[in-house]
């Protein structure tokens, strides 16, 4: 499904009445079946954008339209997508299988059918045998896999991922990235993936959208033409290195700007 974001501006109001412009006239066409990564300094509005596209928040101004490429009729925002967050928000009192099957349970799917579908997904994220475990009995990486399976079971055409692997150790992260690449090659969902990692953005994405420091605008869109299927070994290739250098220079300028702005704001308060 295509996602068309046009001139989206988001102004948050804090409790004390001050306003923060998180996104400023953000426009981008996310193409159906494409993996788009969003890279930008802390506070530039990446999570805000994911929440607006997912229909969790309404933009102050601007529009988000979602529709199939061959049928651009606008569907309801939020309906076609599912979100995976950095913190997994699993239900601690539910077992792995009941966490994964939760969405189907809410949709009224019978126990036998939802368990059958949940078992297939649990196996596909490498957790066969852990169906009856509780989240507290799993490692952080395993919990993140459960969160991924819980999102995938809904089989929505759009997957929104907000730093889903940000809290994982380096080895688990690699395994999860390869897992996600495999799932993407099989399902070709439209993916919007927020990350702080330049490597991760290039490894996973068909394009990397580099954002400016707040207020978040698009600084540059880098197409990533590395062939698929991708693997972590590609990080060592010259093509990957050239993309990394380019993204690194863009992002370094913006992070420096963001830090200077934060220091100035802190100085003003003293």
| Residue ranges that bind ligand ATP, judged by CB under 6 A | 12, 14, 20, 22, 40, 42-48, 214
Among the residue ranges 45-53, 62-70, 94-102, 239-247, the one whose residues contact Mg ion (CB under 5 A)? 45-53
Beta bridge partners of 81: 158
Q: Name which of 85 and 134 has its Cβ closer to ligand ATP.
A: 85
Cis amide linkage into residue 126, ω under 30° from 0:
no
DSSP classification of residue 216: B
89 token code pair: 């928000």
- Report what 44 binds from ligand ATP, Mg ion, none; CB cut-off 5-8 Å by kind: ligand ATP
Under the binding rule (CB under 5 A), the answer on residue 36 touching Mg ion is no
- Report what 83 binds from Mg ion, ligand ATP, none; CB cut-off 5-8 Å by kind: none
Binders of Mg ion among residues 126 to 165 (CB under 5 A) are none
Residues in the chain: 270
Nearest approach in angstroms of CB 40 to ligand ATP is 6
Rounded (10°) CA dihedral 74, 152, 190, 207: 150
Q: Name which of 232 and 255 has its Cβ closer to ligand ATP.
A: 255
Nearest approach in angstroms of CB 149 to ligand ATP is 24
DSSP classification of residue 95: -
Going by C-alpha positions, the residue among 209, 206, 152 that lies closest to residue 179 is: 152
Residues that contact Mg ion, how many (by CB under 5 A): 1
What residues contact 82, with CB distance under 8 A and at least 6 apart?
Answer: 54, 103, 151, 154, 156, 158, 159, 160
State which of residues 47, 51, 88, 177 lies at the interface with Mg ion (CB under 5 A).
47
What residues contact 63, with CB distance under 8 A and at least 6 apart?
Answer: 4, 5, 6, 7, 8
| Cβ atoms of residues 232 and 174 within 8 Å | yes
- Report what 85 binds from Mg ion, ligand ATP, none; CB cut-off 5-8 Å by kind: none
Q: Name which of 101 and 222 has its Cβ closer to ligand ATP.
A: 222
Nearest approach in angstroms of CB 194 to Mg ion is 6
Residue nearest to Mg ion (CB): 47
Contacts with Mg ion, residue ranges (CB under 5 A): 47
């Amino acid at each position: 499904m295509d996602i068309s974001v046009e001139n989206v501006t988001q102004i948050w109001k804090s409790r004390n009445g001050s306003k923060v412009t998180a996104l400023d006239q953000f426009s981008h066409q996310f193409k159906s079946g494409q993996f788009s990564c969003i890279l930008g300094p802390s506070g530039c509005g990446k999570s805000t954008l994911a929440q607006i596209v997912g229909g969790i928040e309404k933009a102050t101004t601007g529009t988000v339209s979602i529709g199939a490429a061959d049928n651009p009729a606008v569907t309801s925002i939020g309906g076609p997508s599912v979100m995976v967050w950095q913190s997994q928000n699993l239900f601690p009192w539910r077992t792995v299988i009941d966490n994964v099957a939760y969405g189907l349970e809410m949709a009224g799917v019978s126990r036998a059918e939802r368990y059958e579908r949940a078992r297939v997904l649990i196996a596909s994220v490498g957790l066969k045998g852990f169906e009856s475990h509780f989240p507290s009995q799993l490692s952080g990486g395993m919990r993140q896999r459960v969160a991924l399976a819980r999102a995938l079971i809904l089989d929505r055409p759009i997957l929104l991922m907000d730093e889903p692997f940000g809290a994982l150790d380096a080895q688990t992260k690699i395994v999860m990235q390869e897992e996600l690449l495999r799932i993407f090659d099989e399902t070709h969902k439209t993916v919007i993936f927020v990350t702080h990692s330049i490597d991760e953005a290039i490894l996973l994405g068909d394009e990397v959208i580099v954002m400016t420091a707040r207020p978040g605008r698009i600084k540059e869109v880098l197409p990533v033409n590395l062939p698929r299927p991708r693997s972590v070994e590609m990080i060592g290739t010259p093509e990957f290195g050239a993309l990394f250098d380019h993204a690194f220079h863009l992002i370094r300028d913006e992070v420096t700007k963001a830090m200077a702005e934060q220091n100035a704001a802190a100085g003003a308060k003293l």
